[in-house]
Structure 1
Amino acid sequence: MTFRLASLTRVATLSVVVLWATAATAQPTPCTDGHAGAYACEGMDLYAHVSLDEFGSTSGNDIWGWTDPETGREYALMGLRDGTGIVDVTEPGNVAYLGKLPTSTEPSLWRDIKVYQNYAFVVSEAPGHGMQIFDLTQLRGLSADADRVFEAEETFVGPESNVLGSAHNIVMNEDSGYAYAVGAEECAGGLYMINVQDPLAPAFEGCFDADGYSHDAQCVMYEGPDEDYAGSEICVGSNEDTITIVDVTDKSNPVQLGQGSYPTPGYTHQGWFTEDHRYFIVNDELDEIQGFSDETRTFVFDLSDLGAPELQSIYTSGIPSADHNMYVLGTKVYQANYASGLRVLDLSAIWDGGEMTEVASFDIYPETDDAQFNGAWSVYPYFPSGTVAISGIEGGLFVVRPGESSSLTLGSFEATATDGDALVTWTPSGNESAPFMLQGRRAGEPFMTMTTMEAGGSRSYRYEAAGLSPGRHEFRVVQLCGDAICVSDVTSVEVAAPENYRLSEVMMDGAMGTSQVSLTLAQAQQVQIHLLDADGNHLKTIADDMMEANMSMMFEVGGPGLPAGTYTVRIEGETFEDARTITRAP
Structure 2
Amino acid sequence: NMELLGQYNDATLPDGGNSQKKYNDIWGYAANGREYALVGNAAYVLFVDVTSPTSPVLIDQIAGGDTTIWRDMKTYENYAYSISDNTEEGMMIFDLSDLPNTVSKIAQTSDFFEEAHNIFVDEPNARIYVTGANTLQNGLIVLDISNPLEPVMIGNDTLLGGYVHDVYVKDNIAYCSHGYNGFFVWDYTVADEPVLLASLSTNGYNHSSWVSEDGSYAIFAEEVPQGLPLGVADLTTLPNGFMEVESYFQFPLITNDVKKNTPHNPFIRGNYAIVSYYEDGVQVIDLSDISNPVLAGYYDTFPNNTNYAEYFGCWGVYPFLPSGNIIASDRKYGLHILKFDEDAATATDNFTSKDISIFPNPSDGTFNILMNKNNSESNSIIFEVSDLSGKITHHQVLNKNADVVDLSFLPNGFYFGKIIMGEKEVVKKLVIGY
Same fold, TM-score > 0.5, yes or no: yes
Deviation at 1:551, TM superposition (A): 7.5
Partner of 1:250: 190
Q: Distance in 1 between matches of 2:342 and 2:54?
A: 13
Q: Is 1:152 the counterpart of 2:110 in the alignment?
A: no
Deviation at 1:312, TM superposition (A): 1.3
CA spacing shift, 1:55–1:137, aligned 2, 3 Å: farther
Partner of 2:424: none
Partner of 1:280: 218
**Counterpart secondary structure, 1:175:** helix
The aligned runs of 1:106-255 (5 Å cut-off) are 106-141=66-101, 151-158=104-111, 163-211=112-160, 212-221=162-171, 233-241=172-180, 242-255=182-195
Q: Distance in 2 between matches of 1:86 and 1:98?
A: 6
Would the aligned equivalents of 1:322 and 1:372 in 2 still touch at CA under 8 Å? no
Q: Is 1:60 the counterpart of 2:23 in the alignment?
A: yes
Q: Distance in 2 between matches of 1:283 and 1:170?
A: 17
Greater alpha carbon shift after TM alignment, 317-326 vs 72-81: 317-326
The structure showing larger relative contact order (alpha-carbon pairs under 8 Å, at least 6 residues apart) is 1
Partner of 1:228: none
The aligned runs of 1:265-304 (5 Å cut-off) are 265-287=203-225, 289=226, 295-304=227-236
Deviation at 1:250, TM superposition (A): 0.6
Question: Which amino acid in the other structure matches residue 92 of structure 2?
Answer: Q
Would the aligned equivalents of 1:364 and 1:376 in 2 still touch at CA under 8 Å? yes
TM-score scaled by structure 1?
A: 0.56
Q: Is 1:367 the counterpart of 2:304 in the alignment?
A: yes
The aligned runs of 1:312-327 (5 Å cut-off) are 312-319=246-253, 320-327=260-267
Q: Distance in 1 between matches of 2:411 and 2:169?
A: 57
Partner of 1:75: 36
Q: Is 1:45 the counterpart of 2:26 in the alignment?
A: no
Question: Which amino acid in the other structure matches residue 93 of structure 1?
Answer: T
Percent identical across equivalent pairs? 30
Question: Which amino acid in the other structure matches residue 139 of structure 1?
Answer: L
Would the aligned equivalents of 1:52 and 1:394 in 2 still touch at CA under 8 Å? no
Q: Distance in 1 between matches of 2:207 and 2:177?
A: 5
Deviation per CA, 1:523-574: give whole Å up to 9, x if none: xxxxxxxxxxxxxxxxxxxxxxxxxx97799xxxxxxxxxxxxxxxxxxxxx
Would the aligned equivalents of 1:49 and 1:396 in 2 still touch at CA under 8 Å? yes
Would the aligned equivalents of 1:272 and 1:326 in 2 still touch at CA under 8 Å? yes
CA spacing shift, 1:473–1:178, aligned 2, 3 Å: closer
Q: Distance in 2 between matches of 1:552 and 1:114?
A: 43
Count of residue pairs the alignment pairs up: 345
Q: Distance in 2 between matches of 1:362 and 1:331?
A: 19
**Counterpart secondary structure, 2:134:** coil
Would the aligned equivalents of 2:25 and 2:71 in 1 still touch at CA under 8 Å? yes
CA spacing shift, 1:109–1:448, aligned 2, 3 Å: closer
Question: Which amino acid in the other structure matches residue 284 of structure 2?
Answer: V
Partner of 1:390: 328
**Counterpart secondary structure, 2:137:** helix
Partner of 2:365: none
Partner of 1:418: none
Deviation at 1:151, TM superposition (A): 4.3
**Counterpart secondary structure, 1:181:** strand
Q: Distance in 2 between matches of 1:279 and 1:473?
A: 43
Partner of 1:457: none
Deviation at 1:188, TM superposition (A): 2.5
**Counterpart secondary structure, 2:87:** coil
**Counterpart secondary structure, 2:11:** helix
Would the aligned equivalents of 2:14 and 2:43 in 1 still touch at CA under 8 Å? no
Q: Distance in 2 between matches of 1:550 and 1:272?
A: 45
The aligned runs of 1:472-487 (5 Å cut-off) are none
Question: Which amino acid in the other structure matches residue 251 of structure 2?
Answer: S
Question: Which amino acid in the other structure matches residue 213 of structure 1?
Answer: Y
CA spacing shift, 1:207–1:88, aligned 2, 3 Å: same
Q: Distance in 2 between matches of 1:473 and 1:335?
A: 29
Question: Which amino acid in the other structure matches residue 140 of structure 2?
Answer: L
Q: Distance in 2 between matches of 1:551 and 1:305?
A: 55
CA spacing shift, 1:139–1:309, aligned 2, 3 Å: same
CA spacing shift, 1:152–1:189, aligned 2, 3 Å: farther
Deviation per CA, 1:308-362: give whole Å up to 9, x if none: 1111111132451211111111111100010001000011112xxx311110100
Q: Distance in 2 between matches of 1:336 and 1:551?
A: 30
Give the root-mean-square deviation of aligned CA atoms. 2.5
Q: Distance in 2 between matches of 1:394 and 1:215?
A: 23
Deviation at 1:272, TM superposition (A): 0.4
Partner of 1:448: 389
Which of structures 1 and 2 has the bigger CA Rg? 1
Would the aligned equivalents of 2:49 and 2:100 in 1 still touch at CA under 8 Å? no
Deviation at 1:445, TM superposition (A): 4.0
Which of residues 48, 55, 60 in structure 2 aligns to 1:94?
55
Would the aligned equivalents of 2:138 and 2:163 in 1 still touch at CA under 8 Å? yes
TM-score scaled by structure 2?
A: 0.75
**Counterpart secondary structure, 1:106:** coil
**Counterpart secondary structure, 2:289:** helix
Question: Which amino acid in the other structure matches residue 11 of structure 2?
Answer: D
Q: Distance in 2 between matches of 1:305 and 1:101?
A: 45
Question: Which amino acid in the other structure matches residue 71 of structure 2?
Answer: R
Deviation at 1:386, TM superposition (A): 1.0
The runs of at least 4 aligned residues of structure 1 exceeding 4 Å deviation read 54-58, 472-475, 549-553
**Counterpart secondary structure, 1:269:** strand
Question: Which amino acid in the other structure matches residue 45 of structure 1?
Answer: E
Deviation at 1:280, TM superposition (A): 1.0
Would the aligned equivalents of 1:296 and 1:317 in 2 still touch at CA under 8 Å? no
Question: Which amino acid in the other structure matches residue 311 of structure 1?
Answer: V
Deviation at 1:49, TM superposition (A): 1.2
Deviation per CA, 1:138-178: give whole Å up to 9, x if none: 22345xxxxxxx541112323xxxx4110000111111110
